[in-house]
Amino acid sequence: MEKKLLLCLVLLSISVAKAQYVDCPAGYQEIDGSCYYFSKVAKNSRQAIATCEAQGGELLEVDDDATRAIIDNYASRCVYWISAESQLIDYWQNEKKEFKFICHANPAASEEAP
């Protein structure tokens, strides 16, 4: 199973033309045409997932070098939730473990600046 970094930072994989502006949900920040939410508090895996979903996003999945580079540049140096791998499933489901997380959500694109 691919390693997937789960962070409640909003990542949006959309192409944004230079003439367009990205409108991210409240609390999210736009980075390279995508929206990210970096949590300031630690939560267990289920709480992190629920928080992202309540904000209209999902836990971030890091599946390419470009996304990893963004996270390396913008996320603080701390442990974040990553997806469950078969050999780590018990660790990931442990409700006592709490880490910060990054959410991913789709931005609204428009032709005019807000």
Q: Is residue 2 part of a domain?
A: no
Q: Tell which wins on pLDDT, 10 or 93.
A: 93
Q: Is residue 26 part of a domain?
A: yes
What is the Cβ-side half-sphere exposure of residue 16, based on CA atoms within 13 angstroms? Answer: 23
Q: What percent of the chain has pLDDT over 70?
A: 59
Number of domains present in the structure of the chain: 1
pLDDT for residue 54:
93
Task: Note whether 103 and 10 are within 8 A (CB).
Answer: yes
Has residue 4 got a pLDDT over 60? no
Q: Is residue 73 part of a domain?
A: yes
Q: In CATH, what number is assigned to the domain containing residue 86?
A: 3.10.100.10
Q: Is residue 13 part of a domain?
A: no
The 10s digit of each residue's pLDDT in 43-79 is 988 898 899 899 988 888 877 888 888 778 877 666 6
Looking at residues 79-97, what average pLDDT do you find?
52
State CA 79 to chain mean position distance. 13
Q: Is residue 66 part of a domain?
A: yes
**76: containing domain:** 21-110
Q: Is residue 44 part of a domain?
A: yes
Q: Is residue 47 part of a domain?
A: yes
Helix/strand number for the chain, H first, E second? 3, 6
DSSP string, 24-50: PPTT-EEETTEEEEE-SS-B-HHHHHH
